[in-house]
Amino acid sequence: MNRFEYCQARLFENESFVTKDRNIKLYDGDEKVVISHLTNYEDGEIVLTSHRLLWGRNGEIARGGSCLALKLKYVLSVDEEEASSMLFSRKKRIILRLGSLASDKMPGPMDHSCSTFVKLSGRNGVEVAFVQALHSTLAARIWIVPDDGEQAQSSQSSADASRRQLRIGIVGIERNLAEKQKQTDANINLAFKDLGRLMAMAKDMVAITNVVSAKIRERQGEISEDETVRFKSYLLSLGIDDPVTRDGTRSNSEYFLKLSRQLCEMLLDPITEAGGMMSLADVYCRVNRARGLELLSPEDLLEACRLLTGPIKLREFPSGAIVLQLESHDDALISQRTLELVGQNVSMSPDELARLECISLLLARERLLTAEGFGQLCRDESVEGLRFYTNKFIH
């Protein structure tokens, strides 16, 4: 443990994020690291970068707070061992064999240690994907790669050599097409590599966004410009601090109950702004965008919505369309508003009402059908589509 250093959770200039794991405890040799009865290194989050291993309390690394860092240059080898876990299962621990201490090492949790290795252990063992990424990163040894100037010089010389090749006749054309295809494949691979890295960092980005949102809330009185207010609304609509997951609950009933409460909290304002009703498809997209990588299945979302008991409830129309709506939503008032809009335009189709009220086509159709059910509208179905008119027999 004397190879670990205190640091701020920020990446160096040429350092990049690789992967992460949760619920990790640290061992100094075979012993758990306990500095005092208030300081222990259990149930933390570990992040692997191209240069270091970062360990911190849950949420600290995402906020850029204090953490422990182990430079990968100290790691000589990686071994695995099995340890007993609950219910007589087996879990894997990772053993990092470490080299001698460098003279420029910064202060850390321990100044002296008799052990030449540390262990990483998880509640259910260390994830296989994390171990594989650790092996790959150590094999790459990116921290000793030549700087960008040397790489740019070598790439420039290779490019000059390729340009010197003759491109004459059919052979030259075929060579040119092959080079373009090769470059296209390389660009596609690079794009998907960057996309994977972006998905891996999505949770951290949501946490950072929430920190910025909190700071904006504290300075609410000083915000007056339109662009600043708009930026604030965008930030406050992104991300959930601690999304409910199956791993964090003891049973399915507890999971769906907590999930329904969280859905009610995050959807109350958006549904109110949407006029008191939102289709389940829109709810699914909005919720999963806010949850980052902890995506919900359509079945889990529907089951959680059935348990809603607060100011929001689940409603199914006779047509089979399912929506979430406020309990205060009044069909009679909405039908009266729809009647006024149809009267102003003589007739109206569902897509025209959707554009006018800025709602989905599904909700627009259901609003017109509901008004028809109250006897306020009548329909006309023709080759031009479905249109609704004021019911002259009543009005």
Residue 60 is given by DSSP the state T
Q: Is residue 309 domain-shared with residue 380, that is, in the same domain?
A: no
Count of positions (residues) in the chain = 395
Q: Is residue 113 domain-shared with residue 221, that is, in the same domain?
A: no
Structural domain contains residue 184: no
Query: Which CATH number do you get for residue 110?
Result: 2.30.29.30
Q: What is the pLDDT of residues 272-302, one digit of tens each?
A: 887 788 888 888 888 888 777 778 888 888 8
Q: What is the pLDDT of residue 164?
A: 47
Beta bridge partners of 117: 97
Q: Is residue 131 domain-shared with residue 221, that is, in the same domain?
A: no
Structural domain contains residue 165: no
Confidence label for 165 from pLDDT (cuts 50, 70 and 90): very low
Q: What is the pLDDT of residues 194-216, one digit of tens each?
A: 555 555 555 555 655 566 566 66
Structural domain contains residue 280: yes
Residue 334 has pLDDT above 50, yes or no: yes
Could you tell me which of 233, 235, 229 has the C-alpha nearest to residue 213? 235
Q: What is the pLDDT of residue 167?
A: 46
Angle (CA) 229 232 235, round 5°: 155
Specify the higher pLDDT residue, 237 or 178: 178
Q: Is residue 312 domain-shared with residue 383, that is, in the same domain?
A: no
Structural domain contains residue 154: no
Residue 226 has pLDDT above 60, yes or no: no
Structural domain contains residue 191: no
Q: Is residue 284 domain-shared with residue 227, that is, in the same domain?
A: no
Final residue of a domain: which of 140, 175, 198?
140
Q: Is residue 21 domain-shared with residue 100, that is, in the same domain?
A: yes
d(CA 220, CA 337): 35
Q: What is the pLDDT of residue 269?
A: 83
Confidence label for 227 from pLDDT (cuts 50, 70 and 90): very low
Specify the higher pLDDT residue, 39 or 377: 377
Final residue of a domain: which of 188, 221, 241?
241
Confidence label for 187 from pLDDT (cuts 50, 70 and 90): low
* Residue reference for tokens 């599904």: 362
Domain that holds residue 385: 331-390
Q: What is the pLDDT of residue 223?
A: 46
Structural domain contains residue 302: yes
CA 300, 301, 306, 309 torsion-angle sign:
positive
Burial-class residue 212 by CB neighbours within 10 Å (0-12, 13-18, 19+): middle
Mean pLDDT of 245-273: 83
Residue 105 has pLDDT above 50, yes or no: yes
Specify the higher pLDDT residue, 249 or 94: 94
Residue 220 has pLDDT above 70, yes or no: no
C-beta separation of 143 from 111 below 8 A = no
Q: Is residue 44 domain-shared with residue 97, that is, in the same domain?
A: yes
Q: What is the pLDDT of residue 200?
A: 57
Could you tell me which of 114, 86, 90, 89 has the C-alpha nearest to residue 101? 114
Q: How far is CA 360 from the centre of its chain?
A: 25
Could you tell me which of 374, 370, 352, 369 has the C-alpha nearest to residue 361? 352
| 3-state SS, residue 48 | strand
Mean pLDDT of 138-153: 67
Q: Give pTM, 2 decimals.
A: 0.39
Residue 166 has pLDDT above 50, yes or no: no
Residues ≥6 apart with Cβ < 8 Å to 212? 235
> Where would I find the H helices in 164-251?
169-200, 202-218, 226-236
Tokens in use for 172? 């030259």
Which range has the worst mean pLDDT, 150-164, 353-367, 369-383?
150-164
Mean pLDDT of 329-340: 84
CA distance readout (Å), 380 to 347, 364, 368, 388: 10, 16, 12, 6
Residue 93 has pLDDT above 80, yes or no: yes
Q: Is residue 268 domain-shared with residue 366, that is, in the same domain?
A: no
Residue 189 has pLDDT above 60, yes or no: yes
Structural domain contains residue 163: no
Q: Is residue 348 domain-shared with residue 283, that is, in the same domain?
A: no
Q: Is residue 314 domain-shared with residue 363, that is, in the same domain?
A: no
Structural domain contains residue 110: yes
Q: Is residue 251 domain-shared with residue 318, that is, in the same domain?
A: yes
* Ramachandran category for residue 22: left, alpha or beta (phi over 0 → left; psi -120 to 50 → alpha): beta
Q: Is residue 250 domain-shared with residue 236, that is, in the same domain?
A: no
Count of domains forming the chain: 4
Looking at residue 320, its amino acid is: G
Q: What is the pLDDT of residue 44?
A: 87
Specify the higher pLDDT residue, 149 or 137: 137
Final residue of a domain: which of 326, 352, 367?
326
Q: What is the pLDDT of residue 247?
A: 75
Q: What is the pLDDT of residue 255?
A: 86
Mean residue pLDDT of the chain comes to 77
Query: Which CATH number do you get for residue 376?
Result: 1.10.10.10
Confidence label for 1 from pLDDT (cuts 50, 70 and 90): confident
